[in-house]
Structure 1
Amino acid sequence: MTPPRLNHVQCLDNRGLHRMAYWEWGDPANPRVLLCAHGLSRQGRDFDTLAEAMADVYRVVCPDVVGRGQSDWLADPMGYVVPTYVADMVTLLARVNATQLDWVGTSMGGLIGLALASMPGAPVRRLVLNDVGPSIQFAAIERIGQYLGQPAHWTTEEEAADYLWSISQSFGPHTREQWLALTRPQLKVDGSGFKPHYDPAIAVPFRAVTPELAAAGEAQLWKAYDSLRSETLLLRGADSDLLSRDTAIEMMQRGPRAQLCEFEGVGHAPTLVQADQVSVVRNFLLSS
């Protein structure tokens, strides 16, 4: 696998400036841009397999959303919210000079893409929402909140991989090699071992979400979804506890009338590592 290029861009927040890292594959002069945005506690290297599969056609850009991976941590934890992330992506798009792009977003990354694509004049041509939609099952939020931001230290990569697998089996079957490849970028050196790559404070605003706030946010997200003009593909793990099938069906019937593809034996969320998942995304993005 060809290693990606690591770059940084400075972004504005309510306390000053922070640097956001982004990984890049393909020809840096290629005007055809694919941006891949990761989930809540993940980072841009999640998309290594997909990026390599798309780099023959696209300049593929995979940011580490602020607070994750190689990006800075925010001074104010309440800045770890979608509006901040959208603003950072607008800055990133200016940096890479993307006047039009396609977007693949997993979970949180899909919500960022949805928010951006719904804005007047948005440059998003095609949008892939990976196991996320305007209605999110609150039980899944509670499940994720049980481990998000908890202190952790592992002596070896193998030990870390075992723990991360214990909280991620909904990602579906992976070989040990695939899982270790997904695990390594999730780790930061911590003394003689490893710790999670992200700022534990990303859990602060996440845990502040109540069923009432979630319901209010859902109404705003449906409004944004209904305004989309981008061709949209919705991916869903058939066993997902975050995106219900009823919501997926509704997303096929309103707004951009998303195409739906479900993956059996997978919950929240497909990792886009398996060949069949990569093929579905590639075929959608490259269809005329």
Structure 2
Amino acid sequence: MDALEFIRVRELDIAVRIWNPNAPRTLIAWHGLARHGGDFSALARQLGDEWRIIAPDTPGRGLSSWSLFPAHDYLYSHYITVALGVLDHFKLQQVDWLGTSMGGLLGMLMAADPRHSNRIKRLILNDVGPELNPQGLIALSSYFGVAHRFNNFADLHAELKQHYASFGLTHEQEWRELALNSARRLPDGSWTYHFDPRIGEQFVHDTPRDMWKEWANIRCPVMVIRGAESTLLDAETLPRMAKAQPSLQTLTVANCGHAPMLNQPEQAAPIRQFLDTAIPTYTAPAEVSTTQPLILWLSKQWRRLFNR
């Protein structure tokens, strides 16, 4: 990270991590549910000096403020407000957007909304799409919906290494760096993760839903990256995504689940190539049939988890 700025949005401080602040091109990089903008450090090095990487910490994560009103602030509608605040702060009328998991859904919502779609020039989704595996979602909500406490840093490191094994990290130094950037001390001297435990309430107040309609409304070029062993984005979903977006580019990352860290040359090179591709004239997509909406079933499962 070369710079750190704080932006005030609705009484919350939003930390924004920046790499290559004087670069001629800009990429917004938005992290996943329980991560932070620091996850894009390796990608910033891979993309090189041509790209300014702007990676905010979503409220309740990393160095950003925790909300006193999670039911109002840990929602996609508020994250859109935060995103627009970031774009306006940096005077970005239109920008390329890369989002991992939650950050990808946020980019989808903005790119599909006629009020904001002109702000997204190109969209890269990292292991996320308009339809998500319900069991994978439940696994996420059950893990991040409770507080985690560790007596020492070694225990946190071991737990993190086990939980994030699907990230595809291969070197112990990478795991240690991830653990150091994911930890914070509690007042009693024990350790926990960097995020507000109440971010899990998002699954109660803002239940994920079928987003095929939004997907079909996206007009900008889109690339989807999928971990070959992903528990969230099923392989069978990609052909349906391509039917709605005929120019869709895809990349499957071997030996990764949810979600690739985008830290290897073979992951960064296709991203750079996509960002260098000229934007084609939009062609209306084919109509895509949707599966039975998941919202009622998921709501029932999450309420059972949080109310038991």
Return the TM-score normalized by structure 1.
0.89
Q: Aligned with 1:110: secondary structure? A: helix
How large is the Cα RMSD of the aligned pairs? 1.8
- For residues 116-265 of structure 1, the aligned pairs below 5 Å read 116-120=110-114, 121-191=117-187, 192-207=189-204, 214=208, 217-218=209-210, 221-255=211-245, 257-265=247-255
Structure 1's 123 and 31: CA in aligned 2 closer, same or farther, altered over 3 A? farther
Counterpart of 2:54 in structure 1 is: 61
1:11 to 9, 12, 15: 9
Once the 2 structures are TM-superposed, how far is the Cα of residue 208 of structure 1 from its aligned partner?
5.6
Structure 2 counterpart of 1:5, which letter? A
Question: In the aligned structure 1, how far is the partner of 2:157 from the partner of 2:40?
Answer: 18
Matched-pair contact (CA < 8 Å) for 1:227–1:255: no
1:108 equivalent in structure 2: 102
Whichever residue aligns with residue 164 of structure 1, its letter is L
- Contact 1:229-1:256 at 8 Å conserved across structures: no
CA contact (8 A) 2:46 2:263 kept: no
1:86 maps to which residue? 80
CA distance in 2, matches of 1:269, 1:243: 10
- Comparing 86-95 with 140-149, greater Cα deviation is found at 140-149
Partners of 1:100 and 1:124 within 8 A in 2: yes
1: CA distance, partners of 2:96 / 2:191: 34
Which one-letter code corresponds to 2:195 in the other structure? Y
In structure 2, the partner of 1:25 is: 19
Instruction: Pick the aligned partner of 2:36 from 13, 35, 43.
Output: 43
Contact 2:43 2:262 in 1 (8 A): yes
Larger displacement relative to structure 2 (272-281 or 145-154): 145-154
Structure 2 residues without counterparts, runs of 5 or longer: 279-308
Q: Is the 8 A contact 2:169 2:175 kept in 1?
A: no
Render the CA deviation track for 1:62-94: whole Å, top value 9, x for unaligned.
000011000001111112111111110001100
Q: Distance in 1 between matches of 2:205 and 2:93?
A: 36
Structure 1 spans left out of the alignment, 5+ residues:
none
SS at match of 2:28: strand
Q: Is the 8 A contact 2:95 2:122 kept in 1?
A: yes
Three-state SS of the structure 1 residue aligned to 2:262 is coil
Q: Distance in 2 between matches of 1:143 and 1:20?
A: 28
CA deviations 1:202-251 (Å, max 9, x no partner) are 11121467xxx54xx21xx2111111111111000111111011111111
Please tell me whether Structure 1 or Structure 2 has the larger radius of gyration of its CA atoms: 2
The percent of aligned pairs where both chains have the same amino acid is 31
Structure 1 CA distance for aligned equivalents of residues 276 and 152 of structure 2: 40
Contact in 2 for aligned 1:33/1:58 (Cα 8 Å) = yes
**Residue 126 of structure 1: how far off its partner (Å):** 1.1
Size of the alignment, in residue pairs? Answer: 274
Whether 1:275 and 2:265 are equivalent positions in the alignment is yes
Aligned to 1:266, which of 247, 256, 260?
256
Distance 1:278 1:31 in 2: 18
SS at match of 1:245: coil
* TM score, norm. by length of structure 2: 0.83
In structure 2, do the counterparts of structure 1 residues 163 and 93 end up closer, same or farther at CA, with 3 Å as the change threshold? Answer: same
Task: Specify the code of the residue in structure 1 equivalent to 2:149.
Answer: H
Deviations 1:175-196 (A, max 9, x none): 1111222222211122434211
Please tell me whether the aligned partners of residues 231 and 256 of structure 1 are also in contact (alpha carbons under 8 angstroms).
Answer: no
State the match for 2:288 in structure 1.
Answer: none
2:150–2:192 CA contact under 8 A, matched in 1: yes
C-alpha distance in structure 1 between counterparts of 2:154 and 2:272, whole Å? 32
Verify the 8 A CA contact 1:232 1:256 in the aligned structure 2: no
Question: Are the counterparts in 1 of residues 127 and 233 from structure 2 also a CA contact under 8 Å?
Answer: yes
Secondary structure, counterpart of 1:122 in structure 2: helix
